[in-house]
Amino acid sequence: MMKEIIVDKKYHEKKLNKVILEKLPNINYPTFCKLLRKKDIKINGKRTNKDSIIYENDVIEIYLPKEMENIRIDLDKVYEDENILVINKPVNIEVTGTNSLTEIINKQYTNCEFKPQPCHRIDRNTTGLVVFAKNKESLEILFRKFKEHEIEKHYLALVYGIPNKQEERLEAYLFKDNKKSQVYISDNFKKGYQKIITKYSVLEKRKDNTALLDVEIETGRTHQIRAHLAYVGYPIIGDGKYGKNEINKRFGKKYQMLCSYKLKFNFKSESGRLSYLSGKKIELNNINM
């Protein structure tokens, strides 16, 4: 199967890989390199290399192998109107970046002037609700609402260990190590650490020494829920970074059992064209944990 891309002004004088990886989210960088080695990518009918610079109106031809012909990603749309789109994100995909949920959505909304943009993020292997704005005004409003905590984000977490308290509001400090892509928790403030607040309530206690928690974060830091719960002794089952490998193996879980399952729009300030959302709740049902 041959895919053809006519280069638009946005990609004028950019590298070849940029346009292909952004225009064809099913192709990752290793696949791109493999296609080049097999001489399955041409610019204006001529073979090329990964460092080629492309120009407006160039014609790129990509010859895809048969196994990629029927690749199709179905979006699980939980809610949509003229201003917002709420997607139930699957596991093993980033919200933004190359081959991300955003790229897949943009590919399916090619006829829109404004491509839907995410208003917040969840981890690659965390599932659940992600809100996208379908116009610039809604994006600006939702960025502000998330920042000012006027949208509640609730998660379901299956943890090992049963908390002594039915509900608790945890406060600590978090440091993000960008080089290791890992965070560290401290009870006391240290240089470079930021305050975090994580609330949980126990929804279910199970005989296998696990508990299902409703978790709400008042601060949205990287890996906050996963690291904070592990720090207080309740690691999320399946979490390979902050959990315990022997527990993950025992339960046969490869990804963290964490799902963004409920959003509440609690607008307290001016919300413009999104005022109709105030008081609305969007929730996933029948989550298997």
DSSP structure string for 53-90: EE-TT-EEEEE--GGGTT------EEEE-SSEEEEEE-
**What's 169's domain CATH number?**
3.30.2350.10
Please state the φ and ψ torsions of residue 72, each to the nearest 5 degrees.
-145, 130
Whole-number pLDDT of residue 157 = 98
**Whole-model pTM?**
0.75
Contact 152, 271 (CB under 8 A): no
Residue 50 domain boundaries:
2-68
Over residues 166-173, mean pLDDT? 97
* Residue 18 lies inside a defined structural domain of this protein: yes
**Confidence tier at 128 by pLDDT (50, 70, 90):** very high
Instruction: Name the more confident of 30 and 232.
Output: 232
Contact 277, 82 (CB under 8 A): no
Over residues 127-152, mean pLDDT? 96
Please identify, among 19, 48, 68, the residue that sits at the C-terminal boundary of a domain.
68
**What's 49's domain CATH number?**
3.10.290.10
Active site residues: 123
* Residue 128 lies inside a defined structural domain of this protein: no
* Residue 161 lies inside a defined structural domain of this protein: yes
* Residue 60 lies inside a defined structural domain of this protein: yes
Please identify, among 15, 47, 68, the residue that sits at the C-terminal boundary of a domain.
68
* Residue 253 lies inside a defined structural domain of this protein: yes
Two structure tokens written together for 111: 């006829």
* Residue 182 lies inside a defined structural domain of this protein: yes
Residue ranges of alpha helices (H) inside 94-244 are 101-108, 136-147, 224-231
Which pairs count as long-range contacts for 31-37, CB under 8 Å and 24+ apart, including other chains? 35/62, 35/63, 35/64
Inform me whether the pLDDT recorded for 180 exceeds 80: yes
Our count of domains for the chain comes to: 2
Q: Which of 39, 44, 43, 35 is nearest to 65 (CA)?
A: 35
The pLDDT tens digits for 69-114 are: 544 456 899 999 999 999 999 887 889 987 789 988 988 888 888 9
* Residue 136 lies inside a defined structural domain of this protein: no
Q: What is the rounded distance in angstroms from the CA atom of residue 104 to the CA atom of residue 74?
A: 9
Lowest mean pLDDT, pick from 20-34, 109-123, 174-188, 218-232: 20-34
